[in-house]
A and B are shown apart, each in its own frame.
Chain A
Amino acid sequence: KNQVEQSPQSLIILEGKNCTLQCNYTVSPFSNLRWYKQDTGRGPVSLTIMTFSENTKSNGRYTATLDADTKQSSLHITASQLSDSASYICVVSDRGSTLGRLYFGRGTQLTVWP
């Protein structure tokens, strides 16, 4: 069964600190992995996308890594800001259908305190 598991479920950090969010998946055949940021009451917004051959991708203070062998990904946030408070969702796409089906994790709820 194709699944995406994220940890931790929730995380509280102080402003300025770094943090790392984890994602494990069993989706096969693998196409790509995305990290989305979802603010409360809003739709998800894409942060990074990585294909099988990529093992790291950065977007400002966000750096995602991918280990396709162990089927693990992480999202590292550097120098956190209050605006980073959101849910971070790991999404894996398979290449077994023309739809490009997406499999969503439940997200990590990050809260940044001043």
Chain B
Amino acid sequence: EADIYQTPRYLVIGTGKKITLECSQTMGHDKMYWYQQDPGMELHLIHYSYGVNSTEKGDLSSESTVSRIRTEHFPLTLESARPSHTSQYLCASSESGEQYFGPGTRLTVT
């Protein structure tokens, strides 16, 4: 099993709140990713990073932002949560092409 962790696993929060989803990996991988997944739908890439101080937006437009100050840490922040942000957020890291996924954070915005 890959050493990639996400917290919290579940989060229910009210509209307008600021939230940060944490993602950490202990494998020393340079590349990290954030995906958004709705039930029964495919994963959509929303952010990725090639390494420290490198962040890029993915295919799916997202109001979230990310930072990569340390290799092992890739947090995702929503400044003002809305019900449309309700989804599952999956973090992944990769080396040599193989991506390893974290367990995900199920976010519900009420």
Contact = CB atoms under 8 A, between A and B. Distances in A.
B19 interface: no
Nearest to A3: B42
Given A43-B90, A99-B48, A106 B101 contact: no
A100 B9 CA distance: 27
Given A42-B104, A43-B104, A106 B92 contact: no
B101 A44 contact: yes
B94 interface: yes
Interface string B27-65: 000010000000011111100101000000000000000
Contacts of B44: 104
Interface in B1-33: 1, 4, 9, 31
A38 B80 CA distance: 30
A45 B48 CA distance: 19
A25 B10 CA distance: 33
Given A43-B102, A43-B104, A100 B97 contact: yes
Contact of A105 (B31, B42, B98): B42
Contacts of A46: 98-100
A43 B101 contact: yes
16 contacts: A4-B42, A41-B104, A42-B103, A43-B104, A44-B90, A45-B101, A46-B99, A49-B98, A89-B43, A99-B48, A99-B50, A100-B97, A104-B42, A104-B43, A106-B40, A106-B41
